[in-house]
A and B are shown apart, each in its own frame.
Chain A
Amino acid sequence: MKALRRSSTSSSSSASSSPRAPSSPPPWVQLRSLLVASSSSSSSSLAASGNSASAAAAAAASASFSPASYSPHSDRGGTKSPWSRRKRKRPLSCRHWNHLFSSDGKLRDGGRKFLKKVRGGGVEPDIRTKVWPFLLGVYDLNSTETERNVIKRNKRNDYEKLRRKCHHVLHSCKGSGLNVINEAACEYHSCTEESEPLNLESVSTRSSPSPKGLKSLRCGTNRQENATEGIDEDTSELTYVDPYVAESESSDSGTSDEEDLDRMSVSANTEVNHDPGPKFVRSASSKSDFFRNNKTPEDFATWQRIIRLDAIRTDPEWALLSHNRAEVSMEKALQYARSVGLKDYDHLEPYMIYHASRVVAVLEAYALFDPEIGYCQGMSDLLSPIIVVMEEDHEAFWCFVGFMRKARHNFRLDEVGIRRQLKIVSQIIKRKDSHLYRHLQKLQAEDCFFVYRMVVVLFRRELTFEQTLCLWEVMWADQAAIRAGIGRSTWSKIRLHAPPTDDLLLYAIAACVLQKRKLIIERYSSMDEILRECNSMAGQLDVWRLLDDAHDLVVNLHDKI
Chain B
Amino acid sequence: MGSKPPPPPPSVSFKLVLLGDGRVGKTSLVLRYVNDVFSDKQEATVQASYLTKRLVVEGVPITLSIWDTAGQEKFHALGPIYYRDADAALLVYDITDNDTFLRVTKWVKELKQMANKDIVMAIAANKSDLVRSKHIDTHEPASYAESIGATLFVTSAKAGTGIDDIFSDIAKRLLEKRKNSSDGLSPAHPKKGILIVNDEPEKEPPPKCCS
A interface residues, Cβ below 8 angstroms from B: 43, 46, 50, 255-257, 260, 302, 306, 309-310, 312-316, 347, 376-378, 380-381, 411, 413-415, 444, 449, 452-453, 456-457, 461, 528, 531-532, 535
Contact A415 B22 (CB under 8 A): no
Chain B residues with CB under 8 Å of A535's CB are: 47, 49-50
B165 within 8 A of A: no
- Shortest B201–chain A CB gap in Å is 12
Chain B residues with CB under 8 Å of A452's CB are: 46-47
Q: A306-B72, A377-B46, A457-B46 are in contact. Are A413 and B77 (CB under 8 A)?
A: yes
Pick the interface stretch among B36-44, B139-147, B183-191.
B36-44
8 contacts between A and B (CB under 8 A): A255-B106, A312-B41, A313-B43, A415-B77, A452-B47, A528-B65, A531-B48, A531-B50
B118 within 8 A of A: no
B192 within 8 A of A: no
Per-position contact with A for B14-53: 1 when CB-CB < 8 Å, else 0? 0000000011000000000001010011111111111000
Bound Cα distance from A452 to B77, whole angstroms: 13
Chain A residues with CB under 8 Å of B35's CB are: 46, 50
B200 within 8 A of A: yes
B164 within 8 A of A: no
Chain A residues with CB under 8 Å of B46's CB are: 377-378, 381, 452-453, 456-457, 461
Interface residues on B, range: 20 to 34
Contact B70 A377 (CB under 8 A): yes
Chain A residues with CB under 8 Å of B22's CB are: 306, 309, 377
Contact A257 B76 (CB under 8 A): yes
Bound Cα distance from A457 to B75, whole angstroms: 14
User: Beyond the given A314-B41, A377-B45, A528-B65, could you list 9 further A-B residue pairs with CB under 8 A, ordered by the A residue number?
Assistant: A50-B35, A306-B23, A313-B40, A376-B72, A377-B72, A378-B44, A381-B43, A461-B43, A532-B50
Bound Cα distance from A414 to B74, whole angstroms: 8
Chain B residues with CB under 8 Å of A306's CB are: 22-23, 72
- Shortest A18–chain B CB gap in Å is 34
Chain B residues with CB under 8 Å of A377's CB are: 22, 44-46, 70-72, 74-75
**In the complex, residue of chain A having the shortest beta-carbon distance to the beta carbon of B94:** A309
B73 within 8 A of A: yes
Per-position contact with A for B72-85: 1 when CB-CB < 8 Å, else 0? 11111100010000
**In the complex, residue of chain B having the shortest beta-carbon distance to the beta carbon of A309:** B23
Contact B44 A316 (CB under 8 A): no
**In the complex, residue of chain B having the shortest beta-carbon distance to the beta carbon of A449:** B81
> Which of A260, A376, A461, A535 has the largest count of B CB atoms less than 10 A from its CB?
A376
- Shortest B79–chain A CB gap in Å is 11
Bound Cα distance from A50 to B34, whole angstroms: 10
Q: A256-B73, A306-B23, A444-B200 are in contact. Are A316 and B50 (CB under 8 A)?
A: no
Bound Cα distance from A452 to B75, whole angstroms: 11
Chain A residues with CB under 8 Å of B76's CB are: 257
Chain A residues with CB under 8 Å of B71's CB are: 377
**In the complex, residue of chain A having the shortest beta-carbon distance to the beta carbon of B130:** A344
Bound Cα distance from A528 to B74, whole angstroms: 22
Contact A315 B72 (CB under 8 A): no
Contact A380 B44 (CB under 8 A): yes
Bound Cα distance from A380 to B42, whole angstroms: 13
Chain B residues with CB under 8 Å of A413's CB are: 74, 77
Contact B47 A453 (CB under 8 A): yes
Bound Cα distance from A312 to B44, whole angstroms: 11
Bound Cα distance from A464 to B74, whole angstroms: 26
- Shortest A55–chain B CB gap in Å is 15
B interface residues, Cβ below 8 angstroms from A: 22-23, 35, 37, 40-50, 65, 70-77, 81, 99, 106, 200
Across the A-B interface, give the 3 residue pairs with the lowest CB-CB distance, nearest first: A377-B44, A378-B46, A453-B47
Contact A315 B50 (CB under 8 A): no
Bound Cα distance from A119 to B73, whole angstroms: 36
Chain B residues with CB under 8 Å of A376's CB are: 72, 74-75
Contact B43 A315 (CB under 8 A): yes
Which of B43, B47, B50, B99 lies in contact with A456, CB distance below 8 A?
B47
Bound Cα distance from A531 to B70, whole angstroms: 14
Chain A residues with CB under 8 Å of B47's CB are: 452-453, 456, 535
Chain B residues with CB under 8 Å of A415's CB are: 77
Bound Cα distance from A347 to B40, whole angstroms: 9
- Shortest B191–chain A CB gap in Å is 22
Chain A residues with CB under 8 Å of B99's CB are: 302
Bound Cα distance from A526 to B62, whole angstroms: 20
Bound Cα distance from A232 to B44, whole angstroms: 36
- Shortest B153–chain A CB gap in Å is 23
Bound Cα distance from A376 to B44, whole angstroms: 10
- Shortest B92–chain A CB gap in Å is 15
Bound Cα distance from A46 to B72, whole angstroms: 25
Chain A residues with CB under 8 Å of B75's CB are: 376-377
Bound Cα distance from A260 to B44, whole angstroms: 22
Chain A residues with CB under 8 Å of B81's CB are: 449
Chain A residues with CB under 8 Å of B200's CB are: 444
Chain A residues with CB under 8 Å of B23's CB are: 306, 309-310
Bound Cα distance from A309 to B43, whole angstroms: 10
Chain A residues with CB under 8 Å of B72's CB are: 306, 376-377
Chain A residues with CB under 8 Å of B70's CB are: 377
- Shortest A540–chain B CB gap in Å is 16
- Shortest A211–chain B CB gap in Å is 37
Bound Cα distance from A351 to B41, whole angstroms: 15
Bound Cα distance from A255 to B46, whole angstroms: 23
Chain B residues with CB under 8 Å of A414's CB are: 77
- Shortest B86–chain A CB gap in Å is 12
Bound Cα distance from A46 to B71, whole angstroms: 23
Bound Cα distance from A247 to B71, whole angstroms: 34
Contact B41 A316 (CB under 8 A): yes
Chain B residues with CB under 8 Å of A380's CB are: 44
Contact A313 B42 (CB under 8 A): yes
Chain B residues with CB under 8 Å of A528's CB are: 50, 65
**In the complex, residue of chain A having the shortest beta-carbon distance to the beta carbon of B70:** A377
- Shortest A377–chain B CB gap in Å is 4
- Shortest A313–chain B CB gap in Å is 5
Contact A313 B41 (CB under 8 A): yes
Chain B residues with CB under 8 Å of A456's CB are: 46-47
Chain B residues with CB under 8 Å of A255's CB are: 106
- Shortest B94–chain A CB gap in Å is 10
Bound Cα distance from A50 to B52, whole angstroms: 11
**In the complex, residue of chain B having the shortest beta-carbon distance to the beta carbon of A49:** B35
**In the complex, residue of chain A having the shortest beta-carbon distance to the beta carbon of B77:** A415
- Shortest B210–chain A CB gap in Å is 11
Chain B residues with CB under 8 Å of A461's CB are: 43, 46
**In the complex, residue of chain A having the shortest beta-carbon distance to the beta carbon of B199:** A444
